C-alpha cells in the first residue's frame, strides 16, 4: 500500500496509511509525556507526530533496508523532541538558581554529615521549599530532554551510514558506530558516582518512580530528582563530546 501511495499520491491510500500507522505516533507521544510535562499537552504531541508521520510517508525508501515502522518511529520521536524543546528552554536565571541549590545541598550535607531536607535547604537559601521542589522538577525534565535530543541526533547520524543495499553484511560502518556509541555511554555510566549510577539503574532499568528510589536511598524525593539531573547532565556532556570530537 505504501509503495502504491508513493507512486500514485492517492489521498485515499494516504488516509489509510495514516490510520494504519497512527499507533506509532501514540506510542511516541506517550513516551514523551513525562518529559514534556509543563512544555506541551499530549494532544499537541500527537498533532506534531501526525505531521511527522505524513512526512515519513513521502520520504521512506525501502531500498535502505530499514522497516517503515523503524524509520517512522525514529523520526516521529525526533520531531516530538524538537517540538518540545522549541516551546521553552532553560533560561540563565534557572541555571544560576541550580548552582545555588547545589552549593546549598553540599554545604549543609558537609555541616550535618547527612543528606539535608528540602526545608533545610530552603531555610538556608531564604526561599520557599515549594520553589526548590518546582525548580528541581523543571531542571530534571530539561536535562532529560536535552539528553534525548542528543541521543536522537546520534542515532540518526548512524542511520545515515546505511548503504543502498539491504544486505546487513554490507553495513560495517553502521555496526561499528552503534558499538562505539554504546561503549561511550557505558563508559559515561561507569564514570558516575555510586549514588548516581544507582539512581540511573533504578530509574531506567528497574523503571522505578522517584518516590520508590527515595525510599531505597533514604532521602527525600527532590534529592533523587537532583541526583538524576546531575547524572543525566554528565551523560549528556560525554555524548556531546563524543559527537563533536
Q: Is residue 155 a contact partner of residue 73, using CB atoms and an 8 Å limit?
A: no
Per-residue pLDDT at 68 exceeds 60: yes
| Ranges assigned E (strand) in the chain | none
Which three cell numbers, joined as nine digits, stand for 95? 541555571
User: What is the pLDDT, as a whole number, of residue 158?
Assistant: 60
Q: Is residue 124 a contact partner of residue 107, using CB atoms and an 8 Å limit?
A: yes
Q: Rounded to the nearest 5 degrees, what angle is found at the Cα of 81, between the Cα atoms of 79 and 87? A: 105
Q: How far is CA 112 from CA 25, 101, 104, 117, 208, in A?
A: 49, 16, 12, 11, 29
Q: What is the C-alpha separation between 83 and 18, in angstroms, rounded?
A: 20
Query: Among 84, 79, 118, which residue's Cα sits nearest to residue 101?
Result: 118
Which three cell numbers, joined as nine digits, stand for 205? 532499568
Q: What is the C-alpha separation between 35 and 84, in angstroms, rounded?
A: 9
User: What is the pLDDT, as a whole number, of residue 2?
Assistant: 92
Mean pLDDT, rounded, for 104-116: 89
Q: Is residue 31 a contact partner of residue 45, using CB atoms and an 8 Å limit?
A: no
Percentage of the chain beyond pLDDT 70 is 84
pLDDT, tens digit, 9 for 90 and up, residues 135-183: 888 888 777 777 777 777 776 666 555 444 444 444 555 566 677 878 8
Q: Rounded to the nearest 5 degrees, what angle is found at the Cα of 38, between the Cα atoms of 33 and 40? A: 60
- pTM (2 decimals)? 0.58
User: What is the pLDDT, as a whole number, of residue 166?
Assistant: 46
Q: Rounded to the nearest 5 degrees, what angle is found at the Cα of 104, between the Cα atoms of 97 and 133? A: 55
pLDDT, tens digit, 9 for 90 and up, residues 19-65: 999 999 988 888 776 666 655 677 888 999 999 999 999 999 888 77
Mean pLDDT of the chain: 83
pLDDT, tens digit, 9 for 90 and up, residues 180-233: 878 888 899 999 999 999 999 998 888 888 889 999 998 888 889 889 988 988
Amino acid at each position: 500500500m505504501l509503495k502504491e501511495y508513493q507512486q500514485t499520491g492517492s489521498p485515499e491510500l494516504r488516509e489509510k496509511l495514516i490510520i494504519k500507522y497512527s499507533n506509532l505516533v501514540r506510542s511516541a507521544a506517550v513516551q514523551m509525556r513525562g518529559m514534556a510535562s509543563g512544555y506541551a499537552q499530549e494532544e499537541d504531541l500527537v498533532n506534531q507526530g501526525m505531521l511527522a508521520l505524513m512526512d515519513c510517508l513521502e520520504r521512506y525508501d525501502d531500498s535502505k533496508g530499514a522497516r517503515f515502522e523503524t524509520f517512522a518511529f525514529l523520526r516521529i520521536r525526533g520531531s516530538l523532541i524538537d517540538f518540545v524543546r522549541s516551546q521553552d528552554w532553560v533560561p540563565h536565571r534557572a541555571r544560576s538558581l541550580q548552582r545555588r541549590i547545589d552549593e546549598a545541598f553540599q554545604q549543609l550535607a558537609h555541616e550535618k554529615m547527612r543528606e539535608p531536607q528540602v526545608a533545610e535547604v530552603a531555610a538556608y537559601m531564604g526561599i520557599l521549599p515549594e520553589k526548590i521542589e518546582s525548580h528541581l522538577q523543571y531542571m530534571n525534565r530539561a536535562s532529560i530532554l536535552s539528553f534525548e535530543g542528543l541521543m536522537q541526533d546520534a542515532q540518526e547520524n548512524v542511520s545515515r551510514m546505511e548503504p543502498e543495499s539491504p544486505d546487513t553484511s554490507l553495513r560495517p560502518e553502521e555496526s561499528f558506530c552503534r558499538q562505539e556509541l554504546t561503549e561511550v555511554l557505558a563508559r559515561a555510566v561507569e564514570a558516575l558516582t555510586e549514588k548516581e549510577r544507582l539512581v540511573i539503574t533504578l530509574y531506567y532499568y528497574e523503571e522505578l518512580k522517584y518516590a520508590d528510589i527515595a525510599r531505597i536511598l533514604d532521602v527525600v524525593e527532590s534529592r533523587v530528582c537532583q541526583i538524576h539531573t546531575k547524572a543525566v547532565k554528565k551523560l549528556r556532556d560525554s555524548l556531546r563530546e563524543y559527537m563533536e570530537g
